[in-house]
Structure 1
């Protein structure tokens, strides 16, 4: 859902980090201002334009019939899409995914963000707790930290981005930890709210000890589930 938009945000974050680290190369550079609203609006405008181009390309393809709507199987090789019966020897289900909300006590009591709703932000959050340590979490952590947000990443596994080699995860954690809080083996157990903001109680997967994060403005549970129920 946010593949292209998130990469546009990462591009901005990369430029900011490069400028901040330019002194290592003997270049004295300074960032005077970061217009968060302008950064987000540029991303949203490009996203909208991409959606229009993709839809036009699909609908105008000579070798493709485009049906829009929910579908379901009426037999082993037949689908019904809004009353249209479509048959195929092979049926490839690629219905995308949507945000997954983990079962964390107290999460329902806050207006939390997802990787989708975060793309609609108008103002930069002062602080952010990211629940999860996969590639989406790392991307968003990198972006918001570059914007000036105080970021904390909580990952229940013993390393970040499990799909990568352990050595890559190690370097990734080392680099990210320079600009944000990164906690592995930290399972989010409960979300608490008080006058200071939102905090997350974590359980250490190794020792079983419980810790509480510093109060934050909001949190992002970053995981996704397949949208298979749009085609069943």
Structure 2
């Protein structure tokens, strides 16, 4: 955006253009999911994925940066002072500097883990073949998505983690439905397990031991236990930029403790999602040009997320647990896929749309589990962002028979609940 507006821009990337999502995260993982669904017996799937990623990087991502100066693979950037960075032996000065360094896989301090060869999202797609068996440490998005992909391709998969349900940042019922979907694919799921150590058998297999007495043996082990920060190479102290265990400190406008330095995306710890990072980058750039009354507060924008499993799981806004913790009075309005004739006809009856709202229809949060939830959740994000209530969604005509029609049905169900009180019924009898 800055380069298109004629500003002089320098981008520094120590590894590959496109960052984690394009190279080792969302894009290759969705490619593997698509292969597992459409062609699970494909020979050398990882070679195909890497060829596509290289094509995207060389022909799409690089073209986006043509109007900017870009340094790739010449080493990480380090702050010299408030306005100067060093890359290799060269120094560069910028009026405004944006930190968008992302995160790396978190490696838990488990005894014996450093003695075995384990996978993370950074080397998963370098495999040459699908293993016979694979254990995932972690029941979040990466572990759930990849376990389903590998299971469809003939790998015996197991998920073990210390949280009470899968996708622990979401709703409990969503995690339970997802577990059922995993088990249908033959995936074994072990919740609330504390891993004490990892060992290797004489046959080369890896064993995960838990405090609860489990011993889970597999050919390969993948660590998908969250993300971690490493700012050591940046020398943030030289630029008077504060950071902590949960990332770089930013204000409402994404400025760090140095008002000319912004931290966007994973590195500020707010939302570890690539689309949140892209959105924050846009807001931060806009904020460099705006006077205080017009600056954009990034936390005012709700962040939808989707896990591309079977069933798909999506959410935006606050969860029921968050509302309970905040002592917010709310109603629950729900419709099930199994009650919708189009979903029945397409054999997509698993799941629900659930909305947490005020009695007047103000939307606090939405959880969708089921087909096309990743497409449907964006309308709910728009509604929350612009304070559009359930009445307006009900009065918005939705195309039928799409899954998105369930959004309108939620509005209808909410209105039906309002029609139940005796006073309303007596009024209607009087009028009609």
State the TM-score, normalized to the length of structure 2: 0.45
In structure 2, the residue corresponding to 1:161 is in which secondary structure? coil
Correspondence for 1:88 among 84, 95, 111: 95
Pick the structure with greater CA Rg: 2
Matched, 1:65 2:72: no
Q: Which residue of 2 aligns with 1:221?
A: 223
Matched, 1:11 2:11: no
Matches for 1:169-188 after TM superposition, within 5 Å = 169-179=175-185, 180-188=187-195
* More relative contact order, 1 or 2 (CA 8 Å, 6+ apart): 1
In structure 2, the residue corresponding to 1:160 is in which secondary structure? coil
Q: Which residue of 2 aligns with 1:20?
A: none
Matched, 1:198 2:206: yes
Q: Does structure 2 conserve the Cα–Cα contact (< 8 Å) formed by 1:129 and 1:151?
A: yes
Correspondence for 2:126 among 120, 125, 137: 120
Post-superposition shift, 1:54? Answer: 4.3
Q: Does structure 2 conserve the Cα–Cα contact (< 8 Å) formed by 1:36 and 1:124?
A: no
Post-superposition shift, 1:154? Answer: 0.7
Post-superposition shift, 1:58? Answer: 4.1
In structure 2, the residue corresponding to 1:201 is in which secondary structure? strand
Q: Does structure 1 conserve the Cα–Cα contact (< 8 Å) formed by 2:131 and 2:219?
A: yes
In structure 2, the residue corresponding to 1:163 is in which secondary structure? coil
In structure 1, the residue corresponding to 2:80 is in which secondary structure? strand
Q: Does structure 2 conserve the Cα–Cα contact (< 8 Å) formed by 1:59 and 1:66?
A: yes
Matches for 1:6-45 after TM superposition, within 5 Å = 6-15=29-38, 34-37=41-44, 39-45=45-51
Q: Does structure 1 conserve the Cα–Cα contact (< 8 Å) formed by 2:35 and 2:42?
A: no
Against the structure 1 CA distance between its residues 101 and 36, is the aligned structure 2 distance closer, same or farther, given a 3 Å change threshold? farther
Post-superposition shift, 1:36? Answer: 4.0
Separation in 2 of the partners of 1:226 and 1:216? 29
State the TM-score, normalized to the length of structure 1: 0.80
Post-superposition shift, 1:171? Answer: 1.0
Q: Deviations over 1:2-58 (max 9, x none)?
A: 221111001122336xxxxxxxxxxxxxxxx71341x22211100111111245324
Q: Deviations over 1:46-94 (max 9, x none)?
A: 0111111245324412xx33234321112223322332222224x3211
Gaps of 5+ in 2: 1-19, 236-432
Post-superposition shift, 1:216? Answer: 1.0
Q: Does structure 2 conserve the Cα–Cα contact (< 8 Å) formed by 1:160 and 1:173?
A: yes
Q: Does structure 2 conserve the Cα–Cα contact (< 8 Å) formed by 1:77 and 1:87?
A: yes
Post-superposition shift, 1:224? Answer: 3.0
CA RMSD of aligned residues (A): 2.0
In structure 2, the residue corresponding to 1:199 is in which secondary structure? strand
Work out the number of aligned pairs and report it.
206
Q: Does structure 1 conserve the Cα–Cα contact (< 8 Å) formed by 2:46 and 2:129?
A: no
Separation in 2 of the partners of 1:167 and 1:14? 25
